[in-house]
Amino acid sequence: MVFSNRMNGLSSAIFSTLENKRNELVSQGREVFNFSVGTPDIPPAPHIIHALQEAAGFAENYKYALKDIPELVEAVTGWYSKRFGVCLEREEIVSLMGSQDGLSHISLTLADPGDTVMVQDPCYPIFSVGPALACANLYKMPLLKENNFLIDFDAIEPSAAHAAKLMIVSYPNNPVTATAPMEFYEKLVWFAKKYDIVVLHDNAYSELVYDGKRGESFLSIPGAKDIGVEFNSLSKSYNMTGCRISFALGNRNVIEQLRTLKSHLDYGVFLPVQRAAIAALTGPQNCLQETVDTYQKRRDFIVEGFNKIGWHMEKPPATMFIWAPIPPKYDSSEKFTIDLLEQTGVIVVPGSSFGERGEGFVRLAMVQPEDKIMKAIERVKESGIVNAG
């Protein structure tokens, strides 16, 4: 069999190596500490589970949904208005089976083969895989520590900007954890208008911001809706990753095209999941603060614990991740990741798997409880892997 070239970019040797090594350790009875996958270990609030359970009890909810139910659209408009001061109309909203669904398909609506899509480097993998599936060319915008991991618009070549159809941007950012100030978004809107580029802003971590600060919406910038859309997911905010529900919001032409494409691909989000989303967005919101408090506590515990044993890293301002530099004696994040797993049972993701500019870092997801974190730090300390020499 000969499979399409498209498939070549979809497998990563490092992830199968890590999976094999992990299975090997488990079969030897060794304990592993999985900080690799960004799926929350925190349960959804009881009222969300209850809404899903109740809706799943009605036979009519097993039909194709086809559309977003009016109460869901109302819940989303209420959420964006109350939370971000952004007014949305029905035509400016479409639900997605997770932002992953939208990210993998939006390029198909905007880019023809050979067109350019601008992405951050490093970036969350589907940001580059989506355009690649549409056979678009990628233009990488480096995220450098010296620029606070923000895109440097002045460094973008005008010829590349003229050629670009779509720019995919995300703050708070996975994997680098940086947030962006409002002036950044103002410049983004100005840049996109100047070069006639559609902007997709992925706001998956709008609610996971620490130290008393709050995330913003790109759509609250005047003119943003003229040139772009935002994706916002319930996966991380409400611990609903498996439910697969998220929203594309903003420019009605972009939303209309995405809705048309999706009408050929799926028949809408399962109705009980739509009901659970309504419960999440309109029910008591203290669960959001509880989730933030849990991650912030873990963040302090992990960063302070590792710093104490000589693995220096900074506290992330947002997201559920830590972007940690690899110890100076290593020059490859993959090599460090494999050694770390073999010597300590701790699983992280090598920065290079997020793009060339991710080299020199690893990503830890804060998805383990404190007793596991404490044990993991102890194992790393015993191994001496982060010490000089």
Ligand X SMILES: Cc1ncc(COP(=O)(O)O)c(C=O)c1O
Which residues of this protein are in contact with ligand X, per CB under 6 A?
Answer: 38, 98-100, 124, 170, 174, 202, 204, 233, 235, 241, 246
Q: 35-50 b/e with 16+ CB inside 10 Å = b?
A: bbebebebebbeebee
> Min. distance of Cβ 221 from ligand X in angstroms?
20
> Min. distance of Cβ 122 from ligand X in angstroms?
11
> Min. distance of Cβ 285 from ligand X in angstroms?
19
Quick one: 34 or 99, whose CB is closer to ligand X? 99
Quick one: 202 or 334, whose CB is closer to ligand X? 202
Strand partners, 225: none
Query: How far, CA to CA in Å, does 319 sit from each of 101, 235, 363?
Result: 20, 12, 11
> Min. distance of Cβ 239 from ligand X in angstroms?
11
Q: Is 208 helix (H, G, I), strand (E, B) or coil?
A: coil
Quick one: 107 or 344, whose CB is closer to ligand X? 107
Contact call for residues 228 and 250 (beta carbons, < 8 A):
yes
Q: Is the dihedral of CA 149, 334, 379, 382 positive or negative?
A: negative
Quick one: 270 or 330, whose CB is closer to ligand X? 270
> Min. distance of Cβ 160 from ligand X in angstroms?
23
Query: Rounded to whole angstroms, how far apart are CA atoms 351 and 363?
Result: 6
State how beta strands 349-350 and 246-250 pair.
unpaired
Q: Which residue is nearest to ligand X (CB)?
A: 98
**Cα-based torsion angle of the residue sequence 152, 153, 157, 161 in order, rounded to the nearest 10 degrees:** 140
Helix axes 333-344, 370-383, angle to 10 degrees: 100
Quick one: 185 or 330, whose CB is closer to ligand X? 185
Residue 206: both structure tokens together: 């709008």
> Min. distance of Cβ 273 from ligand X in angstroms?
12
> Min. distance of Cβ 66 from ligand X in angstroms?
21
Nearest-Å Rg of the Cα atoms of the chain is: 21
Quick one: 100 or 296, whose CB is closer to ligand X? 100
Quick one: 83 or 379, whose CB is closer to ligand X? 83
Query: Rounded to whole angstroms, how far apart are CA atoms 39 and 170?
Result: 18
